[in-house]
Structure 1
Amino acid sequence: MTEPDEKPFLHVVVCAAAVAADVGELIAAAQRRGWEVGVIATPVAMGGFFDVAAVEAQTRRPVRSAWRTPGDARPFPPPDAVVVAPATFNTVNKWAAGLGDTLAVATLCEAYGLGVPVVALPCVADALAAHPAYNDSLIRLRGMGVRFGDLPSGEEGRRAFGWERALDLLDR
């Protein structure tokens, strides 16, 4: 998808979890590794889970959360890869079911059809992760080729969220 003299383009999908406040760490790491980055957030994540203005300054692109109108230019090039981090219970389940009711989830659903690598770093409470629908969703998404970062659960997982692990999984 990327021309030889262009940097590859990474779509970062951000969901509403407390660790989203640190998404700039993922963006900075991706930029150090030669990626251009565009951020697509769930509508709830846009409501204060991360600093939208800081992310826009860091990426030099608007943060997207709503569909563009037919006459609007595409603000991002097609992705060479997609990372969803943090990936919440709601997003994982909707994505696996193919319910693209937000731009963020529709982007994840579309990535499969584009054949681009997708990495997910879940941030799901233990009680929600115990729900059988979540496990079924992980099985389906893994079957679609999604690479998951295995992160510590609970409070330890929130303190040690492995942003760069997403990029390591893209490199393999």
Structure 2
Amino acid sequence: MSEQPDQQTKKPFLYVVVCASGIADDVGKLITAAQEAHWDVGVIATPQGLGFIDTTAVEAQTGYPIRSAWRSPGDPRPLPPADAIAVAPATFNTINKWAAGISDTLAVGILCEAYGFGIPTAVLPYLNSAQAAHPAYRQSLDRLREMGVLIGGYEPHQPKAGGGAAHFRWEEALELLAPKVSRRL
């Protein structure tokens, strides 16, 4: 009997990149949906995003440590390689830095490299309409689309109106990725 895992039974691995947003603590909804769709999941948080999620609950749900900083040389990789990436919720800041190639955090560094590796990536922006009105935001979305990034359809909410958490569809990331991932696996 072989001791190697059967490649047919290996689940695809999804990285969920979480940014600092008021709805980030609901990331468990995306993790649950992914696990129900037979994904293994690991979470990468922006440094500020860590303060918006229940790290203990997320690590218990995924079975992996949350990553937010680069590992030291020689340290083991705590997550398997990604088969796909979902960025949710994605902030104005992260979207613009990613599109500009500003790799100043582990999360954005992973996103910048994903393009070069050809890893299917979906982004679910979550921002207000005043931020979305800035010309850099539309230019960033255009650049990400040119890179093959799949962009969710969330409509920015009104500023200082309590956000639009009720309209944020976490599972949209999986819907966007499904056609791309089925071709890779």
Task: Name the residue aligned to 1:106.
Answer: 109
TM-score normalised over the length of structure 2: 0.89
1:149 is matched by which residue type in structure 2?
G
2:165 corresponds, among 154, 158, 161, to 158
1:137 corresponds, among 132, 140, 147, to 140
Task: Name the residue aligned to 2:3.
Answer: none
Query: 1: CA distance between counterparts of 2:136 and 2:96?
Result: 7
Cα pair distance change 1:168/1:82, threshold 3 Å: same
Query: 2: CA distance between counterparts of 1:171 and 1:14?
Result: 20
Kept in 2: contact 1:151–1:157 (CA 8 A)? no
2:12 corresponds, among 8, 14, 20, to 8
> 5+ residue gaps in structure 1?
none
Give the Å deviation of 1:158: 2.1
Aligned length in residues: 170
2:55 corresponds, among 49, 52, 56, to 52
Task: Name the residue aligned to 1:33.
Answer: 37
1:73 paired to 2:76? yes
SS in 2 for 1:28: helix
Q: Percentage identity across aligned positions?
A: 61
> 5+ residue gaps in structure 2?
1-5, 180-185
**What whole-Å deviation, never above 9, does each CA across 1:100-121 have from its counterpart, x for those lacking one?**
1000000110110110110000
Kept in 1: contact 2:132–2:156 (CA 8 A)? no
SS in 1 for 2:79: coil
Give the Å deviation of 1:55: 0.1
Give the Å deviation of 1:156: 6.4
Higher CA-based Rg: 2
TM-score normalised over the length of structure 1: 0.95
The 4+ residue runs of structure 1 with deviation greater than 3 A are none
RMSD: 1.3
SS in 2 for 1:18: coil
